[in-house]
Structure 1
Amino acid sequence: MLQVKTFQTEDKLRNVHEEARMNDEPLLMSITERIDPLDPFSFFEQGKQVDMHRHFWKSAEEDFTLVGIGSAVRISKEGEGRFQESEQELFDWRKSVRQWNPYNKKGTGTVALGGFGFRPESGGEEPWQEFPNSSMTIPEFLLTNDAEGSFLTTNYLVSPEEDVETIICRMEEDKERLQTSDSSGDTETGVRLEKIEEVRPKEWKQSIADATAELKAGTLSKVVLAREVRLTFDSEASITKVLKDLSDMQNSSYVFAFEHGGSYFVGATPERLVKVEDDELFSACLAGTTKRGSSEEEDETLGLALLNDQKNRLEHDYVVQMIRGAVENYSVNVEIPEAPSLYKLRNLQHLYTPVKAKLKEGYSLLDVVKDLHPTPALGGLPQKEAVTYISLHEVMNRGWYASPVGWIDGGRNGEFAVAIRSALIRGDKASLFAGCGVVEDSKPEEEYEETKVKLKPMLAVLGGEE
């Protein structure tokens, strides 16, 4: 069976190479095949032997995982038009792709994975030097795992000047390497945490106090301010082990990793930004947080207190109204419950309101992402004024933190989450991030304690206490 697949792939590649040579321009080839069930963590780990540009995405609500290795096409845009320009370039590539995908399944074929910086312009400051302002990648090798099994897509940008036999040899070697089982992660003990450093905590608390004064003056309704905690380990962290541990400990969250230049942005976020599947649009309002109780009774008491807390309900309603406005621009049949419910995670519980709609013809997932980012839960209100305030007063560089990360395929399907509960890992060091929504009556010490709770999920998998 494998020999038949190999022959078919070689035959298609030769045809595409001949077309590229005749037209004297590169062509994108995409071939999807069903393979034996393959562990996504093994595929990700083996991928470092092929290319140190890797992507990992695991859904929060279904058996669905994507792992991308290498890049056939990499798109990086900056400025206010970065979402539309990325969408247009992806469309242009897909318009002329030579594709063989008999399965018609979401998340196969010319899927692009990646994310965008919090702000439309890139500063390149510490600690985000390796990350562009935005990056969407169609990987050279894409593993798609769902309830029906494993599917491997090979995307290759075929240049007319390349030797076709060399391409075939390299491609088959890489595919074999990626499908070789790797069990090294089963015995890994992880890193030992040697140092925790809070970055300018006094200045951050003062920034909260300053923001409340600004809010009382009436310039803003709400602003979200985040802070950074830096970790040092006894050795280089294994990103594969971090992903496994996050998947085990935070199984109701989206687990992600994006690799750029030896740095990894990794996280387990509970917050979906927007999903589109078969033109059905789903979003969620997740704002208002408290911890989990140590007993069932305490947990219920904390949850009820959150549901009835005026500050948190007001903060949550800001998010609901903003998402409603953004979704209505591109959708019909918008459905939103009148009151929130509780969304419970391992360490935290949140106020939660789902959003459902039908995406209009002529629009894409990235159109909605553009208008939703940043939601009031991550930026504030009014949106533009809050983002400006953050850029001037926040005591850290957000980079990709609190930004849209996710994937989109060639059939308008895709999903983006908000990159919170996350860390930037570089060798034996990591930066963790957490923020809180500041309103008029916010108290610096209480907001500081809230961020400590939000840091726990990532801290727990990196050697700290839960």
Structure 2
Amino acid sequence: MKFMVVANRESMGTPPLRSVSFDQEQLRVSLQEASSRALHYQRNIVACLVKPVEYFQPINLFPCLQQCIPGDCFFWTQPSTQTAFIGCGSAAQIETWGATRFTETATGWQTLVEHAVISGAPSDTQVRFPLFYGGFSFDVLQPTTPLWEGFPHGLLILPQMLFLQEAGQTMVAINILVGPDDDIELHLTQTQALLERFQAALDSHSTRKSMINFSQCMAIHDLRPANEWRELVGNIVRQIQAGLYQKVVLARGVQVTLNPQIQASLDVSQILTRLTRSNPGSYIFAIQRGGRCFTGATPECLVRIHEGQLSTMALAGTAPRGTNELEDEQIGAELLASAKNQGEHHSVVAMLQETLLQFCRQVRSGDQRQLIKLKNVQHLMTPIMGELLAGYSILEVIAHLHPTPAVGGLPRQTSLQAIREQEALDRGWYASPIGWIDAGGGGEFAVALRSGLIGERDATLFAGCGIVAASDPESEYVESCLKLKVMLHGLGWEN
């Protein structure tokens, strides 16, 4: 495996992205080849044209793409590794519902990548074009509400325009779906119009907006009263002690609303900026669907596959951060020694190892538990790796991994039934797989924790806690509040 250290280009004086253009003749040739294949196979074919671009700051690029094609936008970064994928528009999308969502999504993805025409992709790039982004809901058997309209049980989108930063390379890809009877010149005209809109957006976002502190301008209330939620935790603890479950992960939601007299609205770009600054070790993500955007900063990788190597992590067991270095170290040591948290963590490790044996030639894990220290909390973490068997994509793997005991519970089906019957919360895509997949079946999906659904003037935020026999309702409530602070601070709440 090759590791690369990439210097901060801005500090080196490298100019940021100013414009993007494509060779019209090269694009025409790609479209003609896609049209020929579409006629031969009598179905739509993807044409993907890739080219290198100047360095860009992902957070500065996102509002340009939002302006270029409102409604469908994607943002995904890992600040600590300088990896980023930012896309807009929908050249094609796969929308699925019900228990077969993963298999139907995989079938649709395979159909679209098969026979795709790829032009200009560097031979040494670590991803295979075309690249799709998307996510899945937490539970297909949980009734949906209008809150999550536009977010189906399964969704993969092939963006019209996608910017990438990966292993020191910066690229842009244009994706076009070509049908057997399509007019190639019309596709060329539409693509040129897209690039012109993007250039106009790039020019208009040359100056940054001032960050707004909404601390005195927000109304925050629990979707379920705090006392009721603590009572629910107590009831679940008693049910666990009676032997009905080993663990149940209970989530709670809060509604955040801007005061009516405030003229400003919630700005997803500013939210992403705050999340990036405060959570450099997390995945920072956003999927915009129409007027709402699912956004968050999650520390948990569900699975990553690159060149046949699979990696994931067991992340379970939580404690607060200390107020100083000594206290922080003491709390971390207590977390590592905690029988409650060790038992909760072990169940996640065992489940992941057992599941991955279906897909991997070898499965191995770290010998010792590690601590992941985030802004407000710290977690127990164990890395797990394997060598993927031929014939599988990342979609088959997440179909079997989700939901892990870290977000659902144990045993899986009985704990999920407890959540459906007692939690009284539409989780939607919260605590679910979200990420990207390339044409080779590799990619990366995270678990959408520390997240919220953002509207123009309101947001619904989510946080959950793993309830076991030794859980204390008050302590679990405090833990959930610490987790909610990630998104509250992202919104501009600084109390």
State the TM-score bracket (shorter-chain normalisation): over 0.9
Pair 1:5 & 2:30 matched:
no
**Deviation for aligned residue 1:4:** 7.3
2:138 is paired with a residue of what secondary structure?
A: coil
Mean CA deviation greater in 208-217 or 424-433? 208-217
Percent sequence identity over aligned pairs? 34
Q: How does 1:191-210 map to 2 (within 5 A)?
A: 192=214, 193-200=217-224, 201-210=226-235
2:47 — aligned with what? 29
**Deviation for aligned residue 1:296:** 0.9
Pair 1:212 & 2:237 matched:
yes
Whole-angstrom CA distance in 1 between matches of 2:169 and 2:89: 22
Q: How does 1:6-155 map to 2 (within 5 A)?
A: 6-17=24-35, 20=38, 25-48=43-66, 49-59=68-78, 61-104=80-123, 105-107=125-127, 109-121=129-141, 123-155=143-175
8 Å CA contact retained: 1:287, 1:315: yes
8 Å CA contact retained: 1:278, 1:412: no
**Deviation for aligned residue 1:410:** 0.8
1:245 is paired with a residue of what secondary structure?
A: helix
Whole-angstrom CA distance in 1 between matches of 2:69 and 2:107: 29
8 Å CA contact retained: 1:118, 1:402: yes
Kindly provide the amino acid, as one letter, of the partner of residue 264 in structure 1. C
Aligned in 2, Cα 1:62/1:182: closer, same or farther, shift over 3 Å? farther
8 Å CA contact retained: 1:423, 1:430: yes
8 Å CA contact retained: 1:332, 1:359: yes
Aligned in 2, Cα 1:65/1:344: closer, same or farther, shift over 3 Å? same
Aligned in 2, Cα 1:215/1:430: closer, same or farther, shift over 3 Å? same
8 Å CA contact retained: 2:79, 2:276: no
8 Å CA contact retained: 2:69, 2:88: yes
**Deviation for aligned residue 1:26:** 3.0
What are the superposed Cα offsets for residues 145-172 of structure 1, whole Å, 9 maximum, x if unpaired? 1243321111111234543333212212
Whole-angstrom CA distance in 1 between matches of 2:169 and 2:401: 33
8 Å CA contact retained: 2:305, 2:443: yes
Aligned in 2, Cα 1:108/1:57: closer, same or farther, shift over 3 Å? farther
8 Å CA contact retained: 1:42, 1:181: no
Whole-angstrom CA distance in 1 between matches of 2:229 and 2:478: 12
Whole-angstrom CA distance in 2 between matches of 1:4 and 1:187: 30
Aligned equivalent of 1:422, options 451, 475, 479: 451
2:9 — aligned with what? none
Pair 1:188 & 2:184 matched:
no
Unaligned runs of 5+ in 1: none
1:215 is paired with a residue of what secondary structure?
A: helix
The total of aligned residue pairs comes to 466
Aligned in 2, Cα 1:61/1:353: closer, same or farther, shift over 3 Å? farther
Whole-angstrom CA distance in 2 between matches of 1:60 and 1:4: 28
1:186 is paired with a residue of what secondary structure?
A: coil
Mean CA deviation greater in 124-133 or 253-262? 124-133
1:103 is paired with a residue of what secondary structure?
A: coil
Whole-angstrom CA distance in 2 between matches of 1:321 and 1:367: 19
8 Å CA contact retained: 1:46, 1:177: no
Kindly provide the amino acid, as one letter, of the partner of residue 442 in structure 2. N
What is the TM-score of this pair, normalised by structure 1? 0.95
Whole-angstrom CA distance in 2 between matches of 1:54 and 1:287: 31
Mean CA deviation greater in 333-342 or 98-107? 98-107
Aligned in 2, Cα 1:166/1:191: closer, same or farther, shift over 3 Å? farther
8 Å CA contact retained: 2:121, 2:129: no
Aligned in 2, Cα 1:197/1:126: closer, same or farther, shift over 3 Å? farther
Pair 1:401 & 2:430 matched:
yes
Whole-angstrom CA distance in 2 between matches of 1:414 and 1:203: 40
2:255 — aligned with what? 230
Aligned in 2, Cα 1:26/1:346: closer, same or farther, shift over 3 Å? same
Over the aligned positions, Cα root-mean-square deviation in angstroms equals: 2.1
Whole-angstrom CA distance in 1 between matches of 2:467 and 2:207: 41
Mean CA deviation greater in 76-85 or 356-365? 76-85
Whole-angstrom CA distance in 2 between matches of 1:327 and 1:19: 37
Whole-angstrom CA distance in 2 between matches of 1:413 and 1:120: 25
8 Å CA contact retained: 2:144, 2:426: no
Kindly provide the amino acid, as one letter, of the partner of residue 102 in structure 1. A
**Deviation for aligned residue 1:68:** 1.4
1:366 is paired with a residue of what secondary structure?
A: helix
Aligned in 2, Cα 1:2/1:448: closer, same or farther, shift over 3 Å? closer
Aligned in 2, Cα 1:167/1:444: closer, same or farther, shift over 3 Å? same
Whole-angstrom CA distance in 2 between matches of 1:86 and 1:266: 22
Whole-angstrom CA distance in 2 between matches of 1:122 and 1:224: 15
Mean CA deviation greater in 227-236 or 450-459? 227-236
8 Å CA contact retained: 1:30, 1:153: yes
Kindly provide the amino acid, as one letter, of the partner of residue 51 in structure 2. E
**Deviation for aligned residue 1:131:** 1.5
2:12 — aligned with what? none
**Deviation for aligned residue 1:389:** 1.0
Whole-angstrom CA distance in 1 between matches of 2:472 and 2:146: 29
Kindly provide the amino acid, as one letter, of the partner of residue 209 in structure 2. T
Mean CA deviation greater in 449-458 or 16-25? 16-25
Aligned equivalent of 2:463, options 426, 434, 457: 434
**Deviation for aligned residue 1:363:** 1.4
Kindly provide the amino acid, as one letter, of the partner of residue 43 in structure 1. L
Pair 1:452 & 2:484 matched:
no
Kindly provide the amino acid, as one letter, of the partner of residue 353 in structure 1. T
8 Å CA contact retained: 1:191, 1:237: no
8 Å CA contact retained: 1:60, 1:270: no
8 Å CA contact retained: 2:308, 2:387: yes
Kindly provide the amino acid, as one letter, of the partner of residue 391 in structure 2. G
1:441 is paired with a residue of what secondary structure?
A: coil
1:294 is paired with a residue of what secondary structure?
A: coil
**Deviation for aligned residue 1:231:** 0.5
1:311 — aligned with what? 340
Aligned in 2, Cα 1:415/1:146: closer, same or farther, shift over 3 Å? same
What are the superposed Cα offsets for residues 321-374 of structure 1, whole Å, 9 maximum, x if unpaired? 111111111112211123311111122211110011111112121111111111
Whole-angstrom CA distance in 2 between matches of 1:133 and 1:291: 33
**Deviation for aligned residue 1:425:** 0.5
Kindly provide the amino acid, as one letter, of the partner of residue 141 in structure 1. M
Aligned equivalent of 2:301, options 272, 277, 287: 272
What is the TM-score of this pair, normalised by structure 2? 0.89
